């Protein structure tokens, strides 16, 4: 009998999302990896063993035991695309959109991303840190235990570095596992005559300043770009991403949110970790994505929030054998939501994903989208002991019900949070 730090026993459903060292594709997405009357043994914040309660209690005992009888237990959720660090809100634009103005019209008129940039430039570091931290607290209560966070509301070197410092300080101090992404090419600020000139500054001035602040060797660190008509075209996006790649960063891209430009093909050629949005990606490019190792990240809270009835064809990507992930895209404009369960609720209804597919997309595959596929996203031996005890015996209820919160308790790195 071995003594461990923590045992979780008698989970009605222990939903492991186990991938065996790989992300899930196609038919595998329908398998949530469920163990009935499941148990976990945890040591030093990592999962030491997974099995039935009978098997695990025959081998291990612990000082501390969580009895999850009558409850479903799932991996901590992984929000692989967020803009959590921002100032202010866009309540006036929300009303403008309700009255018929479009997201891109508002952006072209100097609102949208630029309005959040102005607020973020003006906000002192401490306040930006405190407000972002509070957002992460909310995400954690809703079950998110790992998040990627992008810069991109600075668009000058000083403010991009301020945001990146907020992110790295949150990574050091917050319970969540956090992965930073540099999104200097999020919009073209009005100080610049055109996208190419601004992108040149991003590559030659911002990027070296940003990479100088990071220890690139071990931690995942990404570069991202908003590849969209009227923002950065494919050629300019490729230059920015290639420069990040040469500096040792992983590649991500916002593509095909409104207009299809061929960004998926470009990003897959660069070996991107993920391509995100995919709202208007044609089947031919979803086929290319489906054959690649690049994760396709759908952000259906954006379509929902913008009042759209059209959603990314996530069903097609899964059926084409691609790696699908889901994320909130939390930001004050296109997706003001901290809730991964809400995202799964939308994805099941409008993108025709089964609950098991949505959960695998929000955990294991999302972890692969941010370079943490070996560390988090499933309940497998050796991974971080990040899991959620749900106030329901059937995990599907977390996706079937919406607007509430079925997360009863959150365990991160083997520590039960109050
Ligand atoms: O992922 N599309 C570009 N960027 C964000 C929106 C940011 C904003 O509106 O502030 C997105 O949707
Ligand atoms: Fe985004």
Q: Whose CA is nearest to atom 6 of ligand 1?
A: 334
Report the separation in Å between the CA atom of 331 and the middle of ligand 2, taken as the mean of its atom positions. Answer: 7
Pairing state between β 407-412 and 415-416: antiparallel
Report the separation in Å between the CA atom of 41 and the middle of ligand 2, taken as the mean of its atom positions. Answer: 37
What atom in ligand 1 is closest to the CA of residue 86?
10
Residue 232 beta carbon below 6 angstroms from any ligand 1 atom: no
What atom in ligand 1 is closest to the CA of residue 276?
1
Residue 112 beta carbon below 6 angstroms from any ligand 1 atom: yes
Closest ligand to C-alpha of residue 113 is: 1
- Per the DSSP assignment, residues forming a β-bridge with 371 are none
Residue 113 beta carbon below 6 angstroms from any ligand 1 atom: yes
Closest ligand to C-alpha of residue 186 is: 1
Q: Which contiguous run of DSSP H or E holds residue 388? A: strand 387-390
- Per the DSSP assignment, residues forming a β-bridge with 351 are none
pLDDT at 213: 86
Rounded to 5°, the CA angle 159-165-168 comes to: 145
Rounded to 5°, the CA angle 110-278-121 comes to: 30
User: Inter-axis angle of helices 157-173 and 113-122, to 10 degrees?
Assistant: 80
Residue 333 beta carbon below 6 angstroms from any ligand 1 atom: yes
9: nearest Cα among 63, 73, 80 = 73
Ramachandran angles phi, psi of 132, nearest 5°: -70, -40
Q: Write out the E strands in 16-166.
A: 34-43, 46-52, 60-67, 72-75, 77-79, 144-150
Mutation test of ligand 1: which of 333, 337, 343 has the most ligand atoms closer than 8 Å to its C-beta? 333
Residue 257 beta carbon below 6 angstroms from any ligand 1 atom: yes
Distance CA 336, CA 351 (A): 20
Mutation test of ligand 1: which of 94, 114, 331, 343 has the most ligand atoms closer than 8 Å to its C-beta? 331
Mean pLDDT by 10-residue block, N- to C-terminus, for the chain (418 residues)?
A: 97 98 98 98 98 98 97 98 98 96 92 96 98 98 98 98 97 97 97 98 97 77 97 98 97 98 98 98 98 98 96 98 98 98 98 98 99 98 98 98 98 94
User: What ranges in 20-90 are assigned the alpha helix state H?
Assistant: 53-59
Report the separation in Å between the CA atom of 378 and the middle of ligand 2, taken as the mean of its atom positions. Answer: 24
Report the separation in Å between the CA atom of 9 and the middle of ligand 2, taken as the mean of its atom positions. Answer: 38
Ramachandran angles phi, psi of 335, nearest 5°: -155, 75
Which residues have a Cβ under 8 Å from the Cβ of 195 and sit 6 or more positions away? 188, 231, 232, 233, 236
Q: Which contiguous run of DSSP H or E holds residue 167? A: helix 157-173
33: nearest Cα among 325, 298, 380, 274 = 380
Residue 254 beta carbon below 6 angstroms from any ligand 1 atom: yes
pLDDT at 214: 78
Mutation test of ligand 1: which of 83, 152, 222 has the most ligand atoms closer than 8 Å to its C-beta? 83
Mutation test of ligand 1: which of 79, 84, 226 has the most ligand atoms closer than 8 Å to its C-beta? 226
Closest ligand to C-alpha of residue 82 is: 2
Ramachandran angles phi, psi of 408, nearest 5°: -85, -45
Rounded to 5°, the CA angle 408-412-418 comes to: 45
343: nearest Cα among 75, 14, 80, 23 = 80
The DSSP line for 206-241 is IHHHHHHTS-TTTS--EEEEEE-TTSB-HHHHHHHH
Q: Which contiguous run of DSSP H or E holds residue 15? A: strand 2-15
Residue 160 beta carbon below 6 angstroms from any ligand 1 atom: no
Report the separation in Å between the CA atom of 215 and the middle of ligand 1, taken as the mean of its atom positions. Answer: 27
pLDDT at 153: 98
Mutation test of ligand 1: which of 187, 335, 337 has the most ligand atoms closer than 8 Å to its C-beta? 335
Residue 116 beta carbon below 6 angstroms from any ligand 1 atom: yes
Which residues have a Cβ under 8 Å from the Cβ of 323 and sit 6 or more positions away? 23, 24, 25, 293, 294, 295, 296, 365, 368
């Amino acid at each position: 009998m071995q003594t461990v730090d923590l045992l979780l026993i008698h989970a009605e459903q222990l939903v492991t999302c186990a991938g065996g060292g790989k992300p899930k594709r196609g038919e595998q997405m329908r398998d949530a990896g469920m163990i009935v009357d499941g148990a976990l043994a945890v040591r030093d914040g990592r999962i030491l063993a997974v099995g039935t309660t009978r098997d695990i209690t025959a081998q291990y005992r612990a000082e501390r035991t969580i009895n999850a009888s009558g409850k479903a237990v799932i991996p901590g959720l992984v929000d692989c695309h967020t803009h959590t660090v921002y100032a202010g809100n866009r309540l006036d634009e929300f009303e403008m959109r309700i009255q018929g103005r479009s997201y891109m019209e508002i952006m072209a008129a100097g609102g949208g991303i630029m309005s959040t940039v102005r607020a973020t430039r003006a906000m002192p570091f401490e306040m930006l840190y405190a407000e972002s931290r509070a957002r992460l607290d909310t995400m954690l209560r809703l079950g998110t235990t790992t998040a990627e966070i992008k810069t991109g509301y600075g668009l000058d070197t000083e403010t991009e570095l301020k945001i990146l410092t907020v992110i790295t300080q949150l990574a050091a101090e917050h319970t969540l596992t956090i992965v930073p992404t540099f999104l200097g090419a999020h919009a073209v600020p009005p100080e610049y005559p055109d996208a190419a000139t601004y992108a040149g500054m991003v590559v030659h001035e911002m990027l070296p300043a940003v990479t100088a602040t990071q220890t690139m060797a071990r931690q995942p660190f990404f570069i991202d770009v908003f590849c969209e008509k009227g923002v950065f075209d494919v050629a300019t996006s490729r230059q920015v991403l290639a420069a990040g790649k040469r500096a040792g960063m992983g590649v991500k891209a916002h593509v095909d949110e409104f207009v299809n430009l061929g960004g998926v093909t470009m990003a897959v050629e660069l070996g991107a970790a993920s391509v995100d949005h995919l709202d208007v990606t044609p089947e031919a490019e979803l086929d290319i994505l489906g054959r690649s190792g690049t994760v396709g990240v759908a952000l259906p809270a954006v379509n929902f929030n913008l009042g759209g009835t059209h959603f990314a064809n996530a069903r097609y990507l899964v059926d084409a054998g691609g790696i699908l992930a889901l994320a909130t895209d939390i930001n004050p404009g296109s997706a003001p939501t901290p809730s991964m369960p809400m995202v799964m609720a939308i994805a099941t209804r409008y993108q025709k994903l089964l609950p098991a597919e949505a959960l695998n997309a929000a955990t294991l595959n999302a972890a692969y989208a941010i370079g943490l596929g070996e560390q988090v996203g499933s309940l497998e031996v050796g991974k971080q002991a990040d899991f959620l005890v749900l106030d329901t015996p059937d995990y599907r209820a977390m996706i079937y019900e919406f607007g509430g919160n079925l997360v009863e308790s959150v365990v991160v790195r083997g520590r039960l949070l109050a």
